[in-house]
Amino acid sequence: MSVPYSGTIQRSAGVVSAIGKQLKGINLKAAKRIVVKFDPFADNVTQTRHFLHYLSSPKISLTNPNCSLKTEIVCDRSEPTVGVTILPNIGDTANIKQITFKSGNLTCLELLQLFNKHVSSLAPVEQPVSTIQTKSEKKKGRKK
């Protein structure tokens, strides 16, 4: 007698594809300022540095060009943190002014997931732009 198969058909694509999926969802429109603070000599700082690298990419920074990304390097053996200051008009409706992630024991993927959950979800939804068609464009559409 055999045991029925009770798993997924395919394997997951791995951590790299999960990070790519989370990076596609990042939206900085709700953020006014992001401060990444870490001690470079600490043991648990590599994941925070990877997170900083992903946030500083041009594609992500284009989601809000007014958002400033600042790095604070300290030498006091403090825990790495990521502080996000929320825009005032969004912060008033959500009653949130600042979000702080203590990233000492978090992986880069977990940081991205938390960022999407708490910051990107506050971003305003874009309204689709409606285009106005002229009479000649409408006639061309009917002839096809």
Q: Which two tokens mark 110? A: 């977990």
CA–CA distance, 138 with 135 (Å, rounded to integer) = 5
Inform me whether the pLDDT recorded for 53 exceeds 80. Answer: yes
CA–CA distance, 20 with 113 (Å, rounded to integer) = 11
Q: Which two tokens mark 10? A: 């395919």
CA–CA distance, 71 with 37 (Å, rounded to integer) = 6
Inform me whether the pLDDT recorded for 2 exceeds 70. Answer: no
- Pairing assessment for the beta strands 81-86 and 68-73 based on DSSP bridges: unpaired
Inform me whether the pLDDT recorded for 1 exceeds 70. Answer: no
CB 83 within 8 A of CB 99: yes
**What is the value of pTM for the model shown?**
0.78
Could you read off the pLDDT of 106-133 as tens digits, one per residue? 999 999 999 999 998 888 877 776 777 7
Could you read off the pLDDT of 55-107 as tens digits, one per residue? 999 999 999 999 999 999 999 989 999 999 999 988 888 888 999 999 999 99
Q: Which two tokens mark 129? A: 């732009």
CA dihedral 65, 27, 33, 84 (to 10 degrees): -170
